[in-house]
Chain A
């Protein structure tokens, strides 16, 4: 009898763990329903809409969409520029919300228990693709480093010089210092604020954030994965980086890797089409 109870408990634990945490910022109680729902309008009670355009010499140039399902379909067909936004959301957040709901449609039942709040220590576990670097050479290098499982801090250390290392200080404002040998050179990364689901970051004159949108075991390996929205902006470039990344969890405290690495690679090459030779190895790679 006791055996049976233990067995039942063991079977229940993973079933409970399958409930998905979805951040309140997404304003959803059912991602699947909200993905297909008509947008709210700018005026209460009015239906919303978005006009999307694409750069083409022939064929359809603009499309009006009224739901996330149509918005994402249009995005995949190349209509990526929002020319008119008749919803209460900012353009960027509209994209984030629709893309996230798309990713979360099959998330299963939602969890009522919030996971542990994010802390600045998460920085040490993020993959290199979170990098704020704007140049294509760096973006492609970050994508490749992420594919190899390298963390952001390790990648940043390598880019800054081989003798550098990051040091974590447990005092506000939380910051990572770049150390060259034994001399402190400069502060390169600071976390200015943290809420339960987001960290605000400052690095090399850029401001950014890592925002948790969902957390659950997406790939069924028994460990929670995390869907995050990463963005960076600076006075020089404006808002220049936005990405939704599925971070694959491993053991507790171990670095996150990319759950959908091919998507990340494709997006990087779409941004940096002149860097194809940097992501294509020679014939030796085929003989492995």
Chain B
């Protein structure tokens, strides 16, 4: 009797554990991509453009794309829109493709907590909008900057889990890395990082350079079970683009994904600087030994 009760208890426990773990977070995308139904997203993906977009790829190959699915496919094959004005549209097509083929995540720090499980909040609700506080958790690569020099420093800083604010404090405001990052936030003068929450996300300005960050989608894009955020960075010259981030725990600096893609882009644009960096990194390593 005691044995069968134990088995029943174990079975119920296991089943409830499985069902609790099986709960996943529905894929979310911003209204700027499409309406909330999956059909709307598919329609946007397949609908013809008002006018074809010209793209250029490896070895000077040219391509004319007439819909989002063609544009996303072209980008995945290393093509880029010829006209900078078309870049925004193409970037949204890439985001749409990511969303259509993404999985639902098991865990997330990007959602509002709505449910309770064993007294703990379970994220499952609407996405947290980008707020001023996010400058302390977004990776350095999303800071306002332009040019290869800052690009490579931002990449290095992101790889070392530096926040956007820490990067802005040290490299944008030319301050010591003294932990007083908040001093750089919303102060006076050009060197201060001005942050403003907008309807679509965040507006950042530093040293006369303005960028807009928009949250485009939340899903498990890389099948690791954790929810990723797809963020668009507009402005910032050559540092604009689509960035994928994840967060290991609430309040931690986010992990910038696909670092090698960003590195290769810098290597293509500024080979001499990147070669110098690689050589010097060796010298530094030797000097520290």
- Seen from chain A, the residues whose Cβ lies within 8 Å of a Cβ on chain B are 56-60, 72-73, 76-78, 141, 143-145, 147-148, 261-262, 265-266, 269-270, 273, 276-286, 288
Contact = CB atoms under 8 A, between A and B. Distances in A.
Nearest to B153: A283
A279 B279 CA distance: 8
Contact of B97 (A58, A141, A270, A285): A58
B263 interface: yes
A223 B160 CA distance: 43
A77 B61 CA distance: 10
A184 to B, nearest CB: 27
B267 A73 contact: no
User: Main SS of chain B's interface residues?
Assistant: helix
B275 A280 contact: no
Interface stretch (B73-81, B132-140, B208-216, B235-243): B73-81
Interface string B97-118: 1001100000000000000000
Contact of B276 (A266, A278, A288): A288
A58 B46 CA distance: 13
Interface stretch (B4-12, B123-131, B280-288): B280-288
Size category of the binding interface on chain B: 35 or more
B245 to A, nearest CB: 16
B271 interface: yes
A94 to B, nearest CB: 19
Nearest to A59: B73
B58 interface: yes
Nearest to A265: B278
Contact of B281 (A73, A270, A280, A286): A280
A219 B271 CA distance: 18
B59 interface: yes
B275 A78 contact: no
Interface string B263-274: 110010001011
Given A58-B69, A58-B73, A281-B284, A148 B153 contact: no
